[in-house]
Chain A
Amino acid sequence: MTAASSPIFAKPRNRNERNAMKSLELHRIEKSYGAYHALRGIDLSVEEGEFIVMVGPSGCGKSTLLKTIAGLETISSGQILISGRDVTKEEPGDRGIAMVFQSYALYPHMTVAENMGFGLRMAKRPKEEIDAAVARAAKILRITDQLDKRPKQLSGGQRQRVAIGRAITRSPDVFLFDEPLSNLDAALRTQMRVELSSLHAELGATMIYVTHDQVEAMTMASRIVVLNRGAVEQVGSPLELYRNPGNLFVAGFLGAPRMNFFDVTVDEVSGAKAGISAPGLAPLNVSLAEGAALNPGDRATLGIRPENIRLAAGDAARAAISGKVRLVEHLGRETILYVDAGALQCVSSESGTGNITVQVGQVTPISAESPVSLSIDPHDAYLFAGDGQRTVTARKASHSNQTKVDTI
C-alpha cells in the first residue's frame, strides 16, 4: 500500500496534517435548475476511510450530489472540501477523486490497460509508473489476463472491474460510485457487493457510494446518508438508522418489507408514556422520547415493522389487531402475510392496498382467507408526530431484542 499512496497529483501533502482533516466536507450545498431545487443546503462531513452510502428514491438528488462532488455539475452555492482543500471551483481532474459510473463509461477504443492508465497518462506520469499502477490495480481486481482486451470483449462483471480498476489506478483521495451495480444481474450484484466491501477494507480509502438499493446501503455502508427531495433526512450507521429512524421517511425507506404505518389518535399523555388508539386497533401504550411535546387529541402515525408483528394464536381477546389473511407469500426462510384488518388501514402500505404486512417464521400453517389475530409489543412501535418530521418514541437500545422476535 505504500506505493499506492505515492502522490500521483503533483501537490505535496503532509500526511500528518492530512490525517487530522476530513476526507470530504460539504458545506450548505445548493443546486437549482431555474425554479427547481435539486439540492437544498446539504452538509456532510466524511472521515478518512469511511464508506458512505447515499440512498434515496429516484429524483432525490443523490446522483446530482455525487456529480457535484466530482465536479461534473456546478453548484449554485456552498463549498466542497476534499482533504481539507477547497475544490469548489476546480475541474474534476484536479479534485483528487475518481468515479465509477453506472454504465461503466469505459473508453471503447482503448484496451483495458489503456483505459486504466488514461488518468495517469493525462497527468503526464512516466510510462513505467503508469504500467506499475495498472498492473497493481489489475492484480487487486484479478483482471491481469484481460489487460489487452477491449471493453467490448468483456462481460458485464469484468467491465465493472475495469471501471473500478481505472479508479484505483488514480489513487484518489475519494472514490465516487454512481449506482455501479445496477447494470449487473442479481447473482453478480451480490458477488460484486461483497468484493467492493473487501476492496474498501483492503484499500482503506474513502468511498462515497450512491444507490437506490437499500440492501447495498445496509450491507456496505459505514454510514448511510438518506436523501429525500434534495435534502438530507438522516445520517447514521445502518443499524442506527434501522433501529432509530428520525422521521417517517427514513422509517419507511429502510427495511424490506416496508414498515406498516397507521393513522392514530393520541388519547392521553402521562409522563413518558402515551396512550394511542385507532379504529380496529386495541389501545396501546408507547414510551415517549424526552421533549416529545405530544398532546392528547393530536394526530400521529404509528409505525411497526412487519417482523415485529406476531400471530397471537387463538387468543383473540389479547390481540391488538384482528383481520383476515388476503395473501400468503412463502419465501422459504420466512413467510409474508398481507392482512386485511377492516377499519384499520395501513397508509402507504407495501402492497398499496391498505393491507398490513406481517413477516413470520418459516413454517406458518396459514392460508389465505383465514382469520388471524395479531399482537404488537409496544416496545417495537414507533410513533411519528403528525407531520411525520420527527419520531417521538424513545430510542431503541443498539442491542435489541430482535432475536427474540424471530423465534415464534
Chain B
Amino acid sequence: MTSLWRRHRWWLTPTLLILPGAVLFAVVILASSVQSLWISLHDWDGFGPMVWIGLGNYRELMDDPQFYVSLKNNVIWLVMFMLAPPIGLAIALLVNQKIKGMRLVKSMFFIPLVLASVAVGVVFTWVYTPEFGLLALIFRAFGANAPALLSDEHFVTFAIVVAALWSQIAFCMVLYLAGLNNLSEELIGAGRVDGARGWNMLRHIVLPQLTQVTFIAIAVTVVGALRSFDMISVMTRGGPFGSSSVLAYQMFEQSIFSYRFGYGAAIASVLFVIMAVFITWYLTRIIRAEERGA
C-alpha cells in the first residue's frame, strides 16, 4: 500500500488537491453552462415538458426590439463603468497621502463596499425621488425642478449606472490602495533622484508598477458592467417600459416572470458569448504585453 502510494504520489497528490475545486467548477460552471445552452434550444415553461425548437429562441431574439434596448443599455453600462478604474485610482492616490485625518476620509470611501448593492439601490432610489429626494433638494436650492430620473426613459439607465458606479469606484479604489502599498520604495526613490515628480512620477514610475492591479480592476469592472442586474431589479425593474433593462435582467425577467426558460437561456447564452469574447481578447492582450516587457 505504502509503496503504491509512494510510487504514484507525484501525480496523486496534485490530483487530490485540485479535485474539490475541479468538481465544484464542473458542476456549478461547466455543467450549468452546457445545460443553459441545451435549454436555450427548447421551448420550456420551467415545469412542463421541454419542446425542441432548435434555434427558434435565437431567431425570435434577433427580432425582439427589447433585446436591442437591453444590448444598448449594456453598452452604456460598459462605457460608463470604464470610469471606475481611473476615478478609483485618483481617489486612491488622494487618500494615500499622509495627511492628518486621511484615515477618516479613507474609511468614508469604503462605505459603499460595506453596503449590499440592494441597499445602495434603495438609497439612490430615494436620492432620485422627484419631490423629497436629495437630488430634488439640490435642484430646488438652485431654483430648478429636479427631473424624475427613474421614470425618464432617456436618463434612467444613466441614473442607475451612477448609483452602481459609486460602489464600483470604491472597489477599484481598494484595489489601487493595495497596489500603492506594494510600490517599491527604492524605485520611487530612484525616480525622485532622477528628478521625476508629479505627473512624470505617476506616469513613468508609479503606473507601470500598478499594471497588474489595473488589469484586475478593468477585468472585474467589465464583468461587473455586463452582469449588472441587482440595481436594476431594485430601482426600476427594467422600467419604464423596459427602457432600463439589460441582458442579465431581461434573462431573469423572461425566465422568472414570463415562465420562458428557453428564451431566457438563449439571452444568457448570448451574454455568455459576449463575455467570453471580451475575456479572451483581454487575456491574450495582457499576456502579450507581459511577454514584451516588465
Contacts and interface: CB of A to CB of B under 8 A. Distances in A.
B185 to A, nearest CB: 9
Nearest to A152: B294
Contacts of A91: 192, 195, 197
A119 B189 contact: no
Contacts of A123: 195
A335 interface: no
B189 A107 contact: no
A72 B191 CA distance: 10
A122 B192 contact: no
Contact of B187 (A71, A92, A107): A107
Contact of A92 (B184, B192, B204, B208): B192
A209 to B, nearest CB: 16
Contact of A101 (B189, B196, B197, B200): B189
B193 A97 contact: yes
A170 B194 contact: yes
Nearest to B207: A109
Interface residues of B, number: 19
Nearest to A118: B194
Interface in B41-73: none
Contacts of A101: 186, 189-190
B293 interface: yes
A103 interface: yes
A122 B204 CA distance: 10
Contacts of B175: none
B193 A103 contact: no
A70 interface: yes
A102 interface: yes
A126 interface: no
Contacts of A94: 195
Interface string A85-98: 00000011110011
A94 B200 CA distance: 15
A193 interface: no
A67 B185 CA distance: 12
A109 B294 contact: yes
B205 interface: yes
A99 B186 CA distance: 10
Interface of B: 184, 186-187, 189-197, 200, 204-205, 208, 211, 293-294
User: Considering the complex of A and B, which 7 residue pairs feature the smallest CB-CB distances, nearest first?
Assistant: A93-B195, A119-B194, A105-B186, A105-B190, A122-B195, A109-B208, A92-B192
Given A103-B184, A105-B184, A166-B190, 6 more contacts: A70-B189, A92-B192, A93-B192, A93-B197, A99-B190, A109-B211
26 contacts: A70-B189, A71-B192, A71-B193, A72-B192, A72-B193, A92-B192, A92-B193, A93-B192, A93-B197, A99-B189, A99-B193, A103-B184, A103-B186, A106-B190, A107-B190, A107-B204, A108-B208, A108-B294, A118-B196, A119-B193, A119-B195, A122-B196, A122-B200, A123-B195, A150-B293, A166-B190
